[in-house]
A = this chain, B = another copy of it.
Amino acid sequence: MKTHTHEFRVALHDSDAGGVMFFAHHFRHAHDAYEAFMASIGHPLDRLIREGRTLLPLVHAEADYRAPLRHGQSVSVHVSVAAVGSSAFTLDYRFVDDEGRTCALARTVHAHLDRDRGASAPLPAEMAAALEERRSRP
């Protein structure tokens, strides 16, 4: 198990008139962390999309918000692999602020789609192995 960490600073455009980061932007940052994670295990999303063979559409996303993130805060997003199935995988994200508090938890589920058949298909073996190797164990 390895955890991948992605860092960002809450930008003015992340915040809203309520003074805190708009909830949907957590998902944008989680996806940035997902892109960085996939690149770190040798499967950068931009290459997957350009090649067009391996499509990994999100089938589920969720987040629990525990504490607001404010403009200017430094945030670490810790990505971990929660599950690797035959044709899907699940990633967890923990948003930790600069004082070490967990401010939000998020999860995304990605299915592997066979482009030609438009149906779910087994994950490419190499990708499944790379994900499995990084899977969190209780």
Contacts and interface: CB of A to CB of B under 8 A. Distances in A.
Given A24-B28, A31-B23, A60-B63, A15 B16 contact: yes
A7 interface: no
Contacts of A32: 11
Q: How many copies of this chain are found per oligomer?
A: 4
Contacts of A24: 13, 24-25, 27-28, 31, 61
Main secondary structure of the interface of A (DSSP, over half): mixed
Contact of A18 (B9, B22, B49, B65): B49
19 contacts: A11-B28, A11-B31, A11-B35, A12-B16, A12-B22, A12-B45, A13-B16, A13-B22, A16-B17, A18-B49, A23-B31, A24-B27, A47-B72, A57-B65, A59-B64, A59-B66, A60-B63, A60-B65, A62-B63
